[in-house]
Structure formats: structure tokens, C-alpha cells
């Protein structure tokens, strides 16, 4: 029961975190100042994601956390393609897969 709560919280955290990253990217092309609402939104979403993350830590074993860190690369690539219209190629996809696998291998069972 607690673990399913944790998984839901972690998923919410990672999706909000992905949108935070997206808005960092969008906001980065404008001057860095207090009028940069995109960067402001990025920081806000980052904070919100962090709150869900810390809350999930109460319920979940740490292994789950590393799975989320790993999944965040999928969100980044999906948002890059559909929100930013970036071109994906097989090197990017294979590279992201290796990184995700590497994060899991580094952390599972430790």
C-alpha cells in the first residue's frame, strides 16, 4: 500500500520535474532577470517537484528514487521532441538508454 503511494508520488514528482526542466530550457533563451516568467515558473515547478520527492522518500525505499532519476531522461527526450520540436536520432536514443541503464545498475541493490 505504502509503496503504491510512493510510486504515484514519485511519478508526479518526476513529471512536474520534467516540466521544470522544459521551462528552464524555454526561459534560458531570454535574459536572466526577475521579468523572466518562464525561469520563474521553472524554479516554482522544481520546488513543487522537490516537495513530492521528499514526501515520497517517507514511503519508498531509495531504489525507487533512482528509478525516477532514470525515468526523467525519458520525459526530457519526449518533451524535447514534442514541445520543442528537437530532432532525435538513434545516437541520442541509444545514449539515453545507456544512461538510464547505468543509473539503475549503479544503484539497484546497494
Partner 1 sequence: MVLTDNKKGIFLALLCTAIVSVAQILLKKGSDHFSLAPDQLFSQLTNVPLLVGGALYVFGAVFFIYAFRLGELSVIYPVMASGYIVVTLLSVFFLDEIVTLQKWSGMFLIMGGVILIGKYGHQQTVSVAGKEVLPEKEEEQ
**Residues in contact with partner 1 by the rule CB under 8 A:** 21-22, 24-29, 32, 39, 73, 76-77, 79-81, 84-89, 91-92, 94-107, 109-110
Please name which of 16, 91, 98 lies closest in space to residue 52, comparing C-alpha atoms: 16
Q: Nearest approach, Cβ of 88 to partner 1 (angstroms)?
A: 6
Half-sphere exposure for 58 (CA within 13 Å, toward CB): 8
Closer to partner 1 by CB, 2 or 89: give it. 89
| Closest separation in Å from C-beta 11 to partner 1 | 19
CA distance 14 to 66: 11
Given the complex with partner 1, which of 38 and 59 has the nearer CB atom? 38
- How far apart, in whole angstroms, are the C-alpha atoms of residue 78 and residue 72? 10
Amino acid at each position: 500500500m505504502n509503496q503504491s503511494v510512493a510510486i504515484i508520488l514519485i511519478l508526479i514528482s518526476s513529471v512536474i520535474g520534467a516540466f521544470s526542466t522544459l521551462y528552464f530550457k524555454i526561459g534560458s533563451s531570454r535574459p536572466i532577470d526577475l521579468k523572466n516568467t518562464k525561469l520563474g515558473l521553472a524554479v516554482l515547478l522544481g520546488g513543487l517537484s522537490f516537495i513530492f520527492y521528499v514526501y515520497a522518500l517517507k514511503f519508498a525505499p531509495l531504489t525507487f528514487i533512482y528509478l525516477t532519476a532514470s525515468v526523467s531522461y525519458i520525459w526530457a527526450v519526449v518533451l524535447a521532441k514534442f514541445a520543442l520540436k528537437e530532432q532525435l536520432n538513434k545516437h541520442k536514443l541509444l545514449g539515453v538508454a545507456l544512461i538510464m541503464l547505468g543509473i539503475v545498475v549503479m544503484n539497484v541493490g546497494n
